[in-house]
Amino acid sequence: MRLSRKRALQSFVGLTNTKPKLNNLRFLKMNFDQCVEAILYGFISNKRKPSKKRLDLLELYFQQGLGLIPSCINLDVADGNSCEELDLPRGSYLIQLVASLLDLKAPLTEEMPRLAQLNKQLIDFGHIKEEV
């Protein structure tokens, strides 16, 4: 089931202390990104598997981000400590952290891992260089 960003955030509101004004799209995007970062930070801090609702939100973030790779100019870079915790090199993108966490906690059964799909797209569109 695919959720819209607005719908996913509405379902996630119960997990946060803020009550976003859903008519304000700028606030909605900011809050969505903050929720994703909070989920990543929570996992890195206590090493517990995120809830199904939180994994769904990360999946939505990943799928939307993957679709935007061909047209994006720059991507959000994750902080170095988070990268090291998920065995990614410093300077990795936030979406790579999300893909790595999803592969770790909600792996795909028959498809290529999310991180491999993402890295292929990032290489194809010149965001990272292919390592030899």
pLDDT in tens, 79-106: 889 999 999 999 999 999 999 999 999 9
Q: How many CB atoms lie within 10 A of CB 57?
A: 24
- Residues with Cβ within 8 Å of 32's Cβ and at least 6 positions away in sequence, in order, are 5, 8, 9, 61
Partner residues linked to 93 by β-bridges: 77
Partner residues linked to 77 by β-bridges: 93
Cβ–Cβ under 8 Å, residues 95 and 61: yes
Q: What is the pTM of this model?
A: 0.77
Cβ–Cβ under 8 Å, residues 30 and 24: no
Grouped pLDDT means (10 residues each) for the chain, 132 residues: 55 45 51 86 88 92 93 89 92 95 92 94 92 65
CA-based end-to-end distance of the chain = 38
Cβ–Cβ under 8 Å, residues 44 and 85: yes
Cβ–Cβ under 8 Å, residues 50 and 43: yes
> Given the structure tokens 């906690």, which residue do they identify?
105
How far is the C-alpha of 103 from the C-alpha of 56, rounded, in Å? 13
> Given the structure tokens 């966490």, which residue do they identify?
101
